Structure formats: C-alpha cells, structure tokens
Structure 1
Amino acid sequence: MKRHPTCSDAVCEVGGHLTGGCSASQEIGCCDSCGSHDLPFWEHFLDHHVWLAKLLSGPVRLLAGLALFILALLLDDSPVKLLVFVAAYLVVGAGVIVQAFINMFRGKFFSEHFLMSVATIGAFIIGEYAEAVAVMLLYLLGQALEDRAVDRTRRSIVSLMAIRPLIAHLPSPEGVLDLTPDRIQVGQEILVYPGERVPLDGRLEGQGGSVDYSALTGESRPVSLNSGDEVLAGAINGASVLTLTVLRDEAHSAVMRIMELAEAAGQKKTPIEMFTQRFSRVYTPLVVFLALAMALLPPLIFPGQSLQVWVYRALSFLVISCPCALVISVPLAFIAGIGNASRRGIYIRGSQYLEALTHLDTVVFDKTGTLTSGAFEIVKLDMAPGVDRDYLIRLAAAIEGPSNHPIALAIKAMNKDQEEVRPMDIQSVQEIAGHGMEGTLDGRQILAGNKALMDRYGIALPNLEEDMASGSLVHMAEDGHWLGSFTAADALRPGALTAIDRLRDQGSQTIAILSGDRQEAVTEIGMALGADYMASGLLPGQKMEELDRLSELTKGRTAFVGDGINDAPVLRQADVGIAIGGLGSDAAVEAADLVIMTDELERLPDAVAIARLTKRRVQENLVIILLTKGLLMALGAMGITPLWGAVFADTGVMLIAVLNSLRAYYGRVPR
C-alpha cells in the first residue's frame, strides 16, 4: 500500500486516493503522477484512464443514446421497447441525475439538473417514454454545444494569462543550470536565449537586444534594448542571448502581478451579476411550486380535467422555466469583455469595474507622466552669484539619488552627461512628500524642492517664474541660502487630446486635472486639452480632498487616472482607479482597479468602449431570455408547447445568449 507524501492517505498505483478523498481537503484529491492537491480525484482517475474518459464523454454518450432512441422508436410496442427506452435514457441522463443528487447533497436543491431530472422522470411515470429520452438528448446536445463555445472562449482568455515562464538559466561553475524562477535570487545573473520568455524582471547587462512585449501590452512590435535597460518577465526575447541581473523575485515580477490581476477579475461581481444569482435562488423554487400547483390543482378544482394532461403541461412548464441561460450568459459576457480588454494590454480587476466604466461622468487626471510624457528635460539652470555650475549639478544629483520622480531622473541624467562625475556623500536623505528632498553634507543642510519647501525653511528666492510660462522649477538651497534652480520642461503625451475627445463623446461630462505642479504648467496643459477643472500645487492628501469634492458634484462614477507614482492613495479612493504605464510599477498594480500596461492614453477610451459593448450584450441577453421564456412558459401552461419542444426552445435560447455573450470578446473597438 502506497502513502501520499503530502497527506499520508492511501493511494493507488496510478496516483489518486483509494477513498476518492483527501485528508488535506474535502474538495480535491492528491495524485502522485500529476503533482499534489490540484484536481478532484475523479479528474485524476480519468486522466490516467483515457479510454474510460473517452467512453464517458458527452459526444460518445450522445451518439449511443441517439442510436438506442432510434432503435426504440422502430420497435413494436413490447417490454423490449420499454427496456431500450430505459437504456437510452440512462445512457444520456444518468450523469444529469447523479449531478442532481450531488447538488442536493451540497444544499443546492433546485439546480438545472434537478429540473431536468424531475421533468424526464415525470414523463416516464406518465408513459411519455419517447419524450423523456428526447428531452435528455436535446439537453445533452445543448450542453455539449454550450460547453464547447464557453470553453473555447475561456481557453482564449486563459491563454492570454499563460505567460509565466517555467525555466530560468543560471550560469554557474558547473555550467548553465536550468532552474524554476522561484529559486533565483535578486542580484543573480540569468541567461535568456533567443525566442524564450524572460523569466524574471531584470536589468540588461552587456550588449543590447530586442524583446516583444505583446503578451503584456497587446502590441506585437519589438522593443530595442540597451545595456542598463530594465526587461520585464513575460517578454519574448529576440535574436540574441540576453544577460540579465535579476531585480525582483518571481512573486513580485511583472508576470505574477498580471496573473494576480487576472485571478482577481472573477472575484468582484457587478450588481446585475449578483442580482441574477439572487434571482435564480428565489425564482427556481418558485417555478417548481408553480409547476406542482399546475399539475394538481386543475384536476382537483375542475371535474373532468385529466391529471395526466396537466402533469405533462407542468413538466413542460418546468423545463422552460430553467434559469440557466440567465445565470450563465450574464457572467460570461463580463468574462468575455475582460478578456477582450486583456488582449489589448488593459487589465481589469473585476467585472464591477468594467461595469462602472459605462457610468463615468468625471475623469480626473494626474498631469506629470499621465497627460504628459514624463520624460523631463532640464531646459534652464539659474545660479546664485559665485556658485559653480558643476558643483550645483553634482549636489542636486546626489540629493535626488533615492528619488524616482521624473524631474529627479532628468537632473541625474544631466549629471551623467558631465565628463567627470565625483559622487557626493549626502547623509540623512529623506523625501518630504509633495515638496522635495532634504539631507546633510558635512553638517550643512541641503534642500532640493519646490517653492513650498523653500518657504517652509525661510529660503529667499529670486523672481524666476515671470520669465517662464510652464516649466517646473526645482530649487536648491544650502544652509539657508539659495544656490540655484533647475527648470524642467515636459511635453504633452501624444494622443492625449484624442483620448479626451473620445471620452467626451462616450459621455464623460467633466475632465479634471489634479497636479502637484505649478499653476502655470497645469494651466497650459489644461487649456490645450480643454479641461473643465484644474487644481495645482496639491499634496497627495489634498488630491484626495479635491477628488472627494468632485465626486460629490457628479451624478455618475468618478475615475482617477495616474501613473502609479505617488498616486496610490487617490487611485484607491476613486470609484475606478486607473493606472497607465503599469509595466514595472508595483504601486500601480496594487492600488489600481484597471491597469493600462502601455503609456498610450487612447487605451482608456478603448476600455470604456469595451465596457459599453459588454453592457449591450448583457442587455440584449436579458431581453431575449426574459421575453422568450415568458412566451414559452405561457404556451407550455396552455398545453401548446410539447415537452421536447420546450427543451429545444430552452436550449436554443441558451445557445443564442451564450453566443451573444461571446461577441463581447471578439467585438471590435471603434476609434
């Protein structure tokens, strides 16, 4: 007798528990051949007995049941005919009946399997053998077609997420070791061969190369790399061997963050999804009792009415009333919509946020790195009399060293351009949120930041702002004296105006900009985009207050769009927090409800268009299902719709709704 290493339960030779259960879990079992606690025992069993899995598959049972059904119809009335009908029924319907009992054992008494079982067993009881088998045949056919359509789309969506590399190549004295990415540590060097997926986020060492980020961004164009560039996990390497220094472990890599987003997408439901689930829990027991009343009350109240006729009508009513089309098609439409967005590099944390996009009234933007490119360039340097230019640049680069703000990066890049770079040992460096940086050099206080920081420490500044229209200023001070100021310029992001115009066309009434930058810089960008509201010089807490005020003034939902740098609190506070340029931004993925992996603002109206498309599919399904069901239930109660016709119609409605839901995945986004 073998014992499973994880839970010590008895296992058979091919794996899987002899008892069909597992002490570690009541829902799933263990398998020595396939891994650990990952799938139900019976799925492992069928995996190891392919012949049995094929025998029990839907198409095989459908064909066998159909052959027996035709044979029974050709036979003369005799006990053999009844036995063949029973055999045909068991071949196609045994699984449905077993599932009905399993559901009842789990507390789900009124499932679709229960309705079909009651209807067909009832048909057998009243002697309608052919109709009982026909109902099960049509139901099995409908389920097979529905499962094929749904599984195909689910596989398409899941394949978008199947970008997690399984192997990392680690150079060692013994040669190149092939290890799983979770065994690689930060700081180690790995190799990525041509055509392979990058297993971990890393910094490129040595010669350049190119990668394809299409799995992350939806764009299949290659991205050129230079030594020192960051490369993200999930990218496909081009034609050269890359050497990367690992920057993040697997759990914090770009691939894992995207997979977390994908897993979270199915956890948060829209109000309409939750309503359909609650509705079905009340609706199904109600129609069962109505069918019972339809079968019994007319013969009791009206003399001469046939019990068999009314039982038959009640069974038709019961079959037609099955709410599975409603319960399946609505969530499927939202899953398809989220998958459509994922194909375009737009990752949505849940269907409730996809639905919220259809009600956007106010869209609030951060400026730097969101509406603008964030690629600042120092265009002017003002210095106090007697201050050495090189000293000022080196000092500014040193104190801005820990900062990843775009202006800080521009200052540090300016320092790298100098022929001789002598690092300065700035001590006790700390970031003052929304103001700048503070530190000490040989006991002297060093400040780098905006005017508010200088005012806070009583630093007198020359009047520099009247000579500039929209640049951003970073002032430098040493021991209470102004040393100089850097003027950084930033350009409007390409496509920003087009994105704003499309958002207005889609129903957004208010476009607002909240920024910590100077009023002149914010006003210039706001005027270029036709913004309705602009606020400048804001600290992160003040942005939240402004967002609250804007939310109170709007009738619909409010979205905040930022680049994930210093925007996490505001992203969490908005009805829909949208992070743009999510590649490599931990804060963006953690805080946002929707992440646009590229820096293209046009993807935002694309997301809204997908949300509106998805909502239309849901509304169409509701109209189709409710009108058709209502009409058929009335016809069934009047005895016009036969039992097999009821199943045929119900299956047809189901397939129409499912196929219509799938249009949300394949639908085109107009631009």
Structure 2
Amino acid sequence: MEHQHIEKKIIKKKVNQSGCCSAHEEHKHDDHDGHDHDHEHAADGSLFQMFLPAIISFILLLIGIAFDNYFPQSWFSGYVRIAWYVIAYLPVGLPVLKEAYESIMKGDIFSEFFLMCIATIGAFAIGEFPEGVAVMLFYTIGENFQGLAVSKAKSNIKSLLDQRPDEVTILEDNVATKIKASEAKIGAIIQLKAGEKLGLDGELLSDTASFNTAALTGESKPATKNKGETVLAGMINGNTVALVKVTAAYKDSKLSKILEMVQDAVTKKAPAELFIRKFAKIYTPIVVYLAIAICLLPMLFVEDYVFRDWLYRALVFLVISCPCALVISIPLGYFGGIGAASKNGILFKGSNFLDSIATIQNVVMDKTGTMTKGVFKVQEVIIQDGFDKEEILKLVNVLESQSTHPVATAIHNHVGMIDTSVELKNVEEISGHGLKAEINGKELHVGNFKLMDKFNISYNIDPNSVVYTIIAIAYDSKFAGYLTIADEIKEDAQEAVNKLKALGVKATMLSGDKTNVVQFVADKLGIKNAFGDLLPEDKVNKLNEIKAKNETVAFVGDGVNDAPVIALSTVGIAMGGLGSDATIETADIVIQDDKPSKIPMAINIGKQTKKIVWQNITLAFVVKAFVLILGAGGLATMWEAVFADVGVALLAILNAVRIQKMKF
C-alpha cells in the first residue's frame, strides 16, 4: 500500500478534523495574549463530529445484536434485518469506500481501504452482517485515534512554532500605528506592551526588558535582555513597555526558518519508515493473493469443501493482514519524538536524525558559546614600555569594531566609546588568527600569537603560561602587549558531560582558543580529549581522525567556522540562540536555548523513539503472524481479526504517544 497516501490522509485530513492545524500557513488563530480560545472550542466540536459516525454505527450495531440474540423480534428478519445492518454500516463504511475508490483511481489498488472494503462487503455477502459492521466500525475508531495521536504530536510542535502575532504596533514620529507584522520593514520601531508577543526579530532599544522565552526554548525562567541585544519573534514581553528595532523581515525571522525546518522534517524519513513503505508495497498484494488462495485452493484438496466457510477464513485473513498498525504507528513514533524534542526546545530537521543520534558514540564540541557562555570580560591589560596604554587601547577598540566576535564586544565594553576620528585602511580579517589594518601609516595587528608568528613579530612572553585567552597586540611591527580575556563555563555544562558519560558516549572538545585554556576548561568538566589552537581546517582533520576509528560523531558548535565540521559529522548540532545562521542552516539538530544539557537529552529522545518504534514493529508482526495462522486454519473469527488489526494498531499508537509524556 502507498505509505504517502496513508500519511496524507491521517496527518492532513484527520488532524484538520480534530481541530488541530496541519500546517502553519493553513490555520493560524493565535491572539495577542498567547491563547487560542476559538481554536480550543472548535477542537471540542470537531472531536464530537469526528466520532459521531462511529457512535451512530455503534448504537445501531448494539440494537441489531440485541434483536438477534437477546430480544428477538418477528419483524427483524429478511430484508429488514439486512437494511438495518446496511444503515449501521454506511456512516463508517462510506468514507472508507470513497478512499478505496480514490486510491484505485490513482493506481494504488492494494491499499488498506481496499482490504477493509473487500473484507466487510464479503462478510455481508455470506450473511455475517454484525461482523461486517463491527470490522468497519472498529477500523474507523482506530483511524480516529490515530488522527488524535498525530494531532497531539503536531500541537507540541505548533505550540513551539506558531507563536507570532498577526499585527505589531509601529512607532512613527511618536505616533503608534498597528500594521500587519508581515508589512513591517527593517529599521521600523516596534512598541511592545507588557504581555505582548514580539512579531519579528529585532534589537532591543530600551535599557532593559524581561522576556518569557518558553515558547522558543522550553525554558520557563524569564530572560533579561539589555539594550542592543537581540530579541526574537515569539518572545513575550514582561511587565514594562519595550522598544524594539526590526532587524529581519517577517519571512526571514529565526522562527520562520525553524518552522520551515520542522515542516521539512516530515519528508526526511528514518530507515524504519522507508523499510515499512517498501514492505507495505510488497506485503499487501501478497496477502490479497494469499486470501484468494485460502478461499479457492482448498477445493482441490478438501473433500467436504464449503465455499462459504473458506471465504470466511479468507476474509478473516484479509482483516488481520491490514498493515495499518505498522504504517501509521511507526511514523507516528518518529513524529512523537520530534514533538517531544520540540517541546523541550530541541529541533530535529528529520526523523532520520532521531535514528542517527541514537547511535552516537562520540560528541565533539566547540568550547566558546557551546560549553562556555561566550560572554568575555577583559581581566588585565599588559602594555609594553614605550607604548601609550590609552592610545593603544583606543586603536585596538577601533579595529575590533570591525568584528562581531565576542572578544571584540569584551574589548569594546572595557575600553568604551569608539573614537570615530581614527581612520582605518586596508582592514583584513585573517581566519583563525585575528585582524590587521593600517592606521596613521603604521600596521596594527590584533589577534592570537599565531598572528604574531605569521608576521614575524617577536614577543617576550610565553603564551602558555597564561590560563586565560590572550589577545596579542602589535603596532608598527613591534609587540605592544596583550589583553587577557576570560569566558565563563555554562551552569549546566558539567551536567551535560556527566549525562553523556552515563549514556556511554565519549566527549571531545575542539577549539580555536589557546590549548592551555581549552585544557583548563576540559579538566574542570572532566573531558579527557581536548584540543586547542585549531583553525577551521584543523577541526575538520581532527573530526576525520575520530571518524576513521569507525565512530559515529555528533559535532556541536555555534560559530560560522563550525559549519564545515557540522556538515561533515554524522549528526550536526547547532546552538540556536548564539549560533550563526550558516551553522543553524547546516546543522541537523538545533538547540534553541544554547544549553549543553540538551545534547544528552536529544540523544536520549532519539534512543527512546527508536526503542518505541521497534517495540511497535515487533508487536505488530508477532500478533499478526499468530492470528494469521489461526485465521488460515479456521480457528480465528472476525472478532480476533479486529483485535489483530485495530487492537494492535491502538496498542502501537498508545505506545507511540507515550514518548510525549516522558521526562528527559
């Protein structure tokens, strides 16, 4: 049977029926306080509407069975009895008959709808009216529960992604005007009242503001932002009015990009899903032909062959063989995993990455911005005799204003205002080394000591004797001194390393920072393998060395220079808060709140998802195989067949949605 057809039916049709949005663009009901009241009421009404046909059929079926067995009525016979069960069949049977017809028109003959139609119509043909109705009734109930399970998984993702208001308040000449968020231009000033959601990415203009970022990061603790810091669409302002300058168009916001990532995730199938898709295409036609053989072949070998009895066995066989438990519960398991991860601020770009991360043996991580906060502070300033300390710092501050590196921010915060009267010429950024420029006809070099070596500038200190990060300065081809800058280890970095060890996963640290700084951080966290003074190409070489040992590797980073190693790794993980757009784009998994503790959590979600999927595969195969044998031997009735089909599907679905309730 065609796997895409089933997915389309369940994920689009059923989800919409249950009142949950199938896609961000199609249904967007967010109001400004973050609640979907109309949406919730619609969901309640649609839920009743979804189950109404099954309720009608169930009531008519119970009355029919009562008239047949417990309260016999003289009029309940012949055509009246047949008509009664036909009417009971139609509410649940017509939609399936329609789906079967549409599938056949598209060239997909052997679909689960076709199997159900043959089995139930066949049951009517041999006079087993209650069983024919029951099979279709329980099949429909199973379909509805599948739809609800998918809706739950989608709502977890939707609650994370569909967070932007339709309108924003723009200030023009101190006049507040409401416009559509999609029409706001870069540079516009948004006035954000207390409790309002931000509609676009921007830069905070107010001195300070507190934001609820739970919808984006899964973190309930409010985040305080200061003037000049980046704030993202979907964040909810705290208790003061804030002003935000728009820095990205509506369609280019991080939330939009993340939305596209998760929507695309459905198309990237895990190996188990691809296997089931191929399996179903082969399996379903085979069981149809086997059912025909069960019905007709015995007439050649059985003396007292009764067509009706063998047809009944064949119909039972068909009901049992319906692969919906496999075809639905497996993608639902992966979808549930993506939903559970999204709820915790971890975005998987495809179910295949859930499988990949479950097998990771070595997590290789960058230091700055990944295991440390990436917020540097100048610790000390050492300027050589013969140089004016204030003048040198002024020139360094001007040159570093050309960089967006956290080190540049630290220097600016320490020195203060940038002297705009200083004229820079021939500014050049040397990857992995630092910056150089011409000032007043003299060259200024600011970077690491590899930069000094590159330009043959001699210095009189041992860089390895200083634990902090050192920024070397040379002016007029002479060593002028250095700054020491310290970064702070993230609060949950130790927890991340401990949990990785508990999962049996190695941890390795690669960084462009000084080796002794990297080793200091690694020793503090208990990471045995740590390497510093690495250029981007060195990181690639180190990763290749690890992969050469036949180890599956996840690389975690946040900088532009991390994009090559992220692309090369088995699974690439980007820190989505501080991370560069290039890194987030290249990565397979994005951690929204930059917390390293989410790395082992992502691995655990992958492992649990894979475990649940294979539990479902095993359950479906074992139960179906057992009841198929009983059915072929005439030892199973339609009721056992219903359990083997719908019952197993429901058990698999309940198992699949379990992951969304787990705490990681």
TM-score, length of structure 1 as denominator length: 0.87
- 8 Å contact 1:373–1:492 — kept in the other structure? yes
Cα separation, 2, equivalents of 1:70 and 1:376:
73
- 8 Å contact 2:559–2:579 — kept in the other structure? no
Cα separation, 2, equivalents of 1:577 and 1:584:
13
What's 2:478 paired with?
481
What's 1:355 paired with?
355
Cα deviation, residue 396, structure 1: 1.0
What's 1:25 paired with?
none
What's 2:401 paired with?
401
What's 1:608 paired with?
603
What's 2:55 paired with?
63
Cα deviation, residue 79, structure 1: 2.0
What's 1:134 paired with?
134
SS of structure 2 residue aligned to 1:187? coil
- 8 Å contact 1:427–1:439 — kept in the other structure? yes
1:514 to 2:510 alignment: yes
Cα separation, 2, equivalents of 1:325 and 1:409:
56
SS of structure 2 residue aligned to 1:286? helix
Partner AA of 1:563 in structure 2? D
1:620 paired residue among 610, 615, 618:
615
Partner AA of 1:233 in structure 2? A
What's 1:494 paired with?
491
- 8 Å contact 1:398–1:423 — kept in the other structure? no
> 1:340-365 CA distances to partner (integer Å, 9 max, x unpaired)?
11111111111111211211111111
SS of structure 2 residue aligned to 1:360? coil
- 8 Å contact 2:205–2:227 — kept in the other structure? yes
Does 250-259 or 305-314 show the bigger shift? Answer: 250-259
Partner AA of 1:593 in structure 2? D
SS of structure 1 residue aligned to 2:485? strand
SS of structure 1 residue aligned to 2:369? helix
SS of structure 2 residue aligned to 1:160? helix
What's 2:70 paired with?
none
Cα separation, 2, equivalents of 1:378 and 1:352:
44
What's 1:550 paired with?
546
Cα separation, 2, equivalents of 1:414 and 1:562:
27
- 8 Å contact 2:264–2:350 — kept in the other structure? yes
Cα deviation, residue 598, structure 1: 1.7
- 8 Å contact 1:54–1:60 — kept in the other structure? no
What's 1:368 paired with?
368
What's 1:440 paired with?
438
Alpha carbons of structure 1 residues 466 and 550: separation in structure 2 relative to 1, 3 Å = closer
Cα deviation, residue 273, structure 1: 1.3
Partner AA of 2:539 in structure 1? K
Cα deviation, residue 100, structure 1: 0.3
Alpha carbons of structure 1 residues 581 and 80: separation in structure 2 relative to 1, 3 Å = closer
Cα separation, 2, equivalents of 1:55 and 1:243:
42
Q: How does 1:229-628 map to 2 (within 5 A)?
A: 229-416=229-416, 424-465=422-463, 467-468=465-466, 470-508=467-505, 510-555=506-551, 557-582=552-577, 585-628=580-623
Cα deviation, residue 581, structure 1: 4.8
Cα deviation, residue 207, structure 1: 4.3
SS of structure 2 residue aligned to 1:367? coil
- 8 Å contact 1:377–1:490 — kept in the other structure? yes
Cα deviation, residue 72, structure 1: 4.6
Alpha carbons of structure 1 residues 502 and 121: separation in structure 2 relative to 1, 3 Å = same
Cα deviation, residue 128, structure 1: 2.1
Does 275-284 or 367-376 show the bigger shift? Answer: 367-376
Cα deviation, residue 101, structure 1: 0.8
- 8 Å contact 1:393–1:414 — kept in the other structure? no
Partner AA of 2:654 in structure 1? L
Cα separation, 2, equivalents of 1:498 and 1:485:
34
Cα separation, 2, equivalents of 1:523 and 1:476:
24
> 1:445-498 CA distances to partner (integer Å, 9 max, x unpaired)?
222112222222111112242642x22222222232222212222233323222
5+ residue gaps, structure 2: 1-24, 28-38, 68-74
> 1:591-614 CA distances to partner (integer Å, 9 max, x unpaired)?
211111223211111111222221
Cα separation, 2, equivalents of 1:55 and 1:428:
67
- 8 Å contact 1:64–1:91 — kept in the other structure? yes
What's 2:632 paired with?
637
Cα separation, 2, equivalents of 1:181 and 1:583:
24
SS of structure 2 residue aligned to 1:537? coil
Cα separation, 2, equivalents of 1:334 and 1:467:
50
Alpha carbons of structure 1 residues 186 and 428: separation in structure 2 relative to 1, 3 Å = farther
Q: How does 1:38-77 map to 2 (within 5 A)?
A: 57-70=49-62, 72-73=64-65, 74=67, 75-77=75-77
Cα separation, 2, equivalents of 1:345 and 1:55:
29
Cα deviation, residue 56, structure 1: 11
Cα deviation, residue 414, structure 1: 1.3
SS of structure 2 residue aligned to 1:511? strand
What's 2:161 paired with?
161
Alpha carbons of structure 1 residues 388 and 361: separation in structure 2 relative to 1, 3 Å = same
Cα separation, 2, equivalents of 1:638 and 1:521:
73
- 8 Å contact 2:558–2:578 — kept in the other structure? no
- 8 Å contact 2:156–2:343 — kept in the other structure? no
Alpha carbons of structure 1 residues 282 and 466: separation in structure 2 relative to 1, 3 Å = closer
1:195 to 2:207 alignment: no
Cα deviation, residue 335, structure 1: 1.2
Alpha carbons of structure 1 residues 475 and 355: separation in structure 2 relative to 1, 3 Å = same
Cα separation, 2, equivalents of 1:374 and 1:344:
22
SS of structure 2 residue aligned to 1:373? coil
Alpha carbons of structure 1 residues 409 and 124: separation in structure 2 relative to 1, 3 Å = same
SS of structure 2 residue aligned to 1:434? coil
Cα deviation, residue 571, structure 1: 1.2
> 1:111-169 CA distances to partner (integer Å, 9 max, x unpaired)?
11110001111122223223212222222222233323332333233222221221111
Cα separation, 2, equivalents of 1:91 and 1:371:
58
- 8 Å contact 1:203–1:244 — kept in the other structure? yes
SS of structure 1 residue aligned to 2:140? helix
Does 562-571 or 623-632 show the bigger shift? Answer: 562-571
RMSD in angstroms over aligned alpha carbons?
A: 2.4
Cα deviation, residue 435, structure 1: 0.8
Q: Percent identity?
A: 37
Cα separation, 1, equivalents of 2:240 and 2:615:
50
Alpha carbons of structure 1 residues 471 and 326: separation in structure 2 relative to 1, 3 Å = same
What is the aligned length? 617
What's 1:663 paired with?
658
- 8 Å contact 2:156–2:342 — kept in the other structure? no
Cα deviation, residue 422, structure 1: 5.6
Does 562-571 or 55-64 show the bigger shift? Answer: 55-64
- 8 Å contact 2:398–2:419 — kept in the other structure? no
SS of structure 1 residue aligned to 2:509? strand
Q: How does 1:644-659 map to 2 (within 5 A)?
A: 644-659=639-654
Alpha carbons of structure 1 residues 604 and 643: separation in structure 2 relative to 1, 3 Å = same
What's 1:179 paired with?
179
Partner AA of 2:586 in structure 1? A
